[in-house]
Amino acid sequence: MAEVCALGIDVGSTTAKIVGIDDKGHIVWHLLEQADPQVGKQVERFLELAREVTTTPSDPKDGGQKNGVPLIATGYGRKLVLQATRKVTEITCHARGIYRELGHGGTLVDIGGQDSKVIGISPKGEVIDFSMNDKCAAGTGRFLENTASRLGVALDRLGEVTLSTEEEVPISSTCTVFAESEVISLIAHGVATEPILRGLHRSLVKRVVAMIRSVGLRPPLMLSGGVVLNPAIPYLLQEETGEQVIIPHHPQLIGALGAALIGLDLLPKEI
Amino acid sequence: MNLVDSLRYHWNVNILGPSILRFSIWLREQTARRGWKSGNLAPPLKVSWRNKDLVTRHWLRGHYANQRSKVAWVTSGAPVELLKALDYYIVYPENHAAICGTARVAVDIMSEAEEAGYSQDICSYARTDFGTLFSGMTPVGKLPRPDLLLACTNICQTVLFWYRVLARHFNIPLIVIDTPFVYQSEASEHAVQFVLRQLEEAIPVAERVAGKSLEERRLEEVGRLSKLATELWLEIIERNQHRPAPISVIDQFIQMAPIVEMRGDAATVDFYAAMLKEVDERIAKGIGAVKGERKRLLWDNLPIWYRLRYIAEFLGEHGIAIVASTYTNAWGELAPFYKVERGLESFALACTYVILNRGTGHKLKTMQRMIEEYRLDGVILHSDRSCKPYSIGQMDQRDRLIREHEKPALLLEADHNDFRCFAEEQVANRLAAFVEMLER
């Protein structure tokens, strides 16, 4: 395994990710776990594992700076990563990560567990504009997670079940809590699971499309975040926008990759 | 007022109150932190204590106002000069609500109004005012009971309903000045005449309640003082075209209290003259509101009163200064409309051309002009849940600023007085991402 030169950690609301990259910026090591409410302990465990696989591991005792590789933290829990060399927002990290992965600008949609964002990226990879979901979880993974649980469908089968039908029941509530009540009412009225699920997905995608419009769609349309693993999301997003959706190889690691790349910039350049 | 009451008034308002204030300011300078936590921010202006003194005396006088004069409650865009000239003691419920906001007691107070049945969707200033009305809760000690209400529709339509509640509660006369909306750059002649007629009709009502006649000379004097204070305020805020900007918009939000609630007073003119002098001294010495100023921003809409310090310090730490604002500018841009020689028409014009009574295009042009004149790097648009007239059009304005000026612009959702509409983490994240964009 190539030498890890920088680490990026993305502490999200649903999952925590750590990525190690070599001096060329390639991902050589990564971990992905469900987010632990005890962020400190989880980060500590991640760094212990990082020390096992990297030749120059980050040492939390020196803040990850003196003897170790740079560690850049991002995600909503970044402030709790005390070992971080720097803390950078998800917006900057995602833009950096996707530009590295795909090599062009455009509009990135990242749908996470409790947080969705749309980032306009220039042809040089700079953030031009961004939008994030409002104060509630509408338009995020949590919306599907909560409502789907009422239907008794496992998370990893959500997309498959959704795409198995052309039928769709409109869900009018964008609020996660109210949508759940709406689903219960539909079940009570004997509506089948599949059309309800499709309606739920449509509702989420429409919410995301509204965010895309507020930033302005600059093609191509790129998609990242854990919700991308659900095939119904890119399918419906493509349908709603009429744009081909591009998904990177590691859709869940884009933020952590961007963070690690920012870390790589901190290293002294060899002449 | 008998002799004992009069003595008590002078003792409290002119001797004891100001002395306690000065002692508390002195004590804070000696002991606690001076001004900001961040070392990147310049200390508060030296004239700040005069502002505190003016505001404190104003509210102290309020304690005794019902015994000494007639009291009027007015909206912030109302032609207050008419009432000043009749010696009314003036209360601006909006200003009082802002004080509650900065003191972080507004939500406790507005909860009283919500319990009485007023929806959380109503303006948080109105709810704060109703809360004080129903519970008596206020950080200024006591609000004097009004004898007259004056509401002008140039800031929003909420005031119509708000002041009707007040009129019913106190069972007193309400004067409404309805200002036709200015869609184009100029108000039509008949619109100004319409406002003028209403002012003419308002005078006998105000005179009857005051128990005295309006003297033309006195009105002219008050108008002259309003114009002078407004001109000085405009000069002060325009000094921020200098780099580094001598005074941040966050400072302006605090220092604007007299121009809003004491317009037409000689003391207000003196205060802003002293402030302009100090601002010029800062410029001469090269002192900026933010040390090592790197980026300069525009603020659109009302302040987030309960998070002023947080925003100033967060941006200040990154060498970012908010140097221009459509809101503080709104109290200065009216200066040319005060045409004292035109008598009452002068006030009709000043009422009509208030920013919120003009099309969204006017605000966009103001922001575009500010971007050039103040050499700005970005814009923060506070999408204020409570102030719909100010927030409408911000999405389009943001798009135009980004597209035509290539300046990053952030829409920040919050509320000027209700911290329950302020999502701490989300706001912090958006601000941090915006700062990273500016620094790229």
The CATH number of the domain holding residue A64 is 3.30.420.40
Which chain B residues are within 8 Å of A91, Cβ to Cβ?
433, 436-437
Contact state of A126 with B408 under an 8 Å Cβ cutoff: no
Of B395, B426, B440, which is closest to A214 when you measure between CB atoms? B395
Q: Residues 13-32, chain A: which have Cβ within 8 Å of B? A: none
Which chain A residues are within 8 Å of B425, Cβ to Cβ?
76
Which chain A residues are within 8 Å of B399, Cβ to Cβ?
216
* pLDDT at res. A212: 94
Q: Which residue of B has its CA nearest to A89?
A: B433
Contact state of A127 with B413 under an 8 Å Cβ cutoff: no
Contact state of A89 with B429 under an 8 Å Cβ cutoff: yes
SS3 letters across B192-238: HHHHHHHHHHHHHHHHHHHCCCCCHHHHHHHHHHHHHHHHHHHHHHH
Contact state of B436 with A91 under an 8 Å Cβ cutoff: yes
Rounded to the nearest integer, the mean pLDDT of chain B is 93
Share of chain B above pLDDT 90, in %: 86
Which chain B residues are within 8 Å of A216, Cβ to Cβ?
399
CB B319 within 8 Å of CB B294:
yes
> Residue B33: pLDDT above 70?
no
Of A76, A89, A134, which is closest to B436 when you measure between CB atoms? A89
The CA distance from A222 to the nearest CA of chain B, in Å, is 20
CB A66: neighbour CB atoms within 10 A?
8
Mean pLDDT of A223-243: 94
Dihedral sign from CA coordinates of A244, A250, A251, A254:
negative
Alpha carbon A17 to chain centroid, angstroms: 10
**Which pLDDT band, with edges at 50, 70 and 90, does B24 fall under?**
confident
Mean pLDDT of A116-133: 93
**Substitution target from B380, B401, B430 for chain A, most A beta carbons within 10 A:** B430
* A95 has a chain B CB within 8 A of its CB: no
* pLDDT at res. A181: 84
CB A95 within 8 Å of CB A124:
no
CB-count burial class (<10 Å; 0-12, 13-18, 19+) for B156: buried
Which chain B residues are within 8 Å of A126, Cβ to Cβ?
440
Residue at A123 is within a domain: no
Count of CB pairs separated by less than 8 Å, A with B: 36
Contact state of A91 with B433 under an 8 Å Cβ cutoff: yes
Residue at A143 is within a domain: no
Of B423, B436, B440, which is closest to A135 when you measure between CB atoms? B423
Q: Which amino acid is at B118?
A: Y
Dihedral sign from CA coordinates of B405, B407, B411, B416:
negative
Contact state of B436 with A129 under an 8 Å Cβ cutoff: no
Q: Which residue of B has its CA nearest to A87?
A: B432
* pLDDT at res. A64: 46
Share of chain B above pLDDT 70, in %: 98
Which chain B residues are within 8 Å of A132, Cβ to Cβ?
426, 429-430
Which chain B residues are within 8 Å of A92, Cβ to Cβ?
433, 436-437
> Residue B30: pLDDT above 80?
no
Q: Which residue of B has its CA nearest to A128?
A: B408
Q: Which residue of A has its CA nearest to B396?
A: A214
Contact state of B440 with A130 under an 8 Å Cβ cutoff: no
User: What gap in Å lies between CA B164 and CA B173, rounded to an integer?
Assistant: 10
Report, in angstroms and rounded to the nearest whole number, the Rg of chain B calculated over CA atoms. Answer: 21
Residue at A125 is within a domain: no
pLDDT tens digits along B380-436: 999 999 999 999 999 999 999 999 999 999 999 999 999 999 988 889 999 999 999
Mean pLDDT of B23-33: 65
> Residue B18: pLDDT above 90?
no
Contact state of A132 with B430 under an 8 Å Cβ cutoff: yes
pLDDT tens digits along A155-182: 889 999 999 999 999 988 777 778 888 8
Q: Which residue of A has its CA nearest to B422?
A: A135
**Which pLDDT band, with edges at 50, 70 and 90, does B22 fall under?**
confident
**Which pLDDT band, with edges at 50, 70 and 90, does A268 fall under?**
confident
* Buried-exposed string A17-56: b where 16+ CB fall within 10 A, e elsewhere: bbbbbbeebebbbbbeeebeeebeebbebbbeebeeebee
* pLDDT at res. B31: 59
The CA distance from B269 to the nearest CA of chain A, in Å, is 43
- Give this prediction's pTM: 0.90
* pLDDT at res. B105: 96
Mean pLDDT of A52-61: 59
The CA distance from A98 to the nearest CA of chain B, in Å, is 16
The CA distance from B33 to the nearest CA of chain A, in Å, is 26
Which chain A residues are within 8 Å of B423, Cβ to Cβ?
135
* pLDDT at res. B6: 81
* pLDDT at res. B2: 78
Q: Which residue of A has its CA nearest to B431?
A: A89
Contact state of A134 with B413 under an 8 Å Cβ cutoff: yes
* A216 has a chain B CB within 8 A of its CB: yes
Mean pLDDT of A145-153: 82
Mean pLDDT of A118-124: 96
pLDDT tens digits along B182-220: 998 899 999 999 999 999 999 999 999 999 999 999 999
> Residue A271: pLDDT above 80?
no
For chain A, how many structural domains are there in total? 1
Tell me the CA distances in angstroms from B108 to A16, B91, B129, B354, B386, one per residue in order. Answer: 38, 21, 12, 31, 17
Contact state of B436 with A128 under an 8 Å Cβ cutoff: no
Q: Please give the structure tokens belonging to residue B29.
A: 């300078």
Residue B325: left if φ>0, alpha if ψ -120 to 50, beta else—which one?
beta
Residues of the domain holding A76: 6-92+253-266
Of B429, B430, B437, which is closest to A127 when you measure between CB atoms? B437
Contact state of A129 with B408 under an 8 Å Cβ cutoff: yes
Question: Element (H or E) spanning B152, and its range?
Answer: strand B148-152
Name the interface residues of B facing A (CB cutoff 8 Å). Answer: 395, 399, 402, 408-409, 413, 423, 425-426, 429-430, 432-433, 436-437, 440
ipTM of predicted complex: 0.85
Mean pLDDT of B359-375: 96
Ranking A109-118, A242-251, B78-87, B398-407 by mean pLDDT, the lowest is: A109-118
* pLDDT at res. A66: 46
User: What gap in Å lies between CA A246 and CA A103, rounded to an integer?
Assistant: 12
**Which pLDDT band, with edges at 50, 70 and 90, does A2 fall under?**
confident
**Which pLDDT band, with edges at 50, 70 and 90, does B10 fall under?**
confident
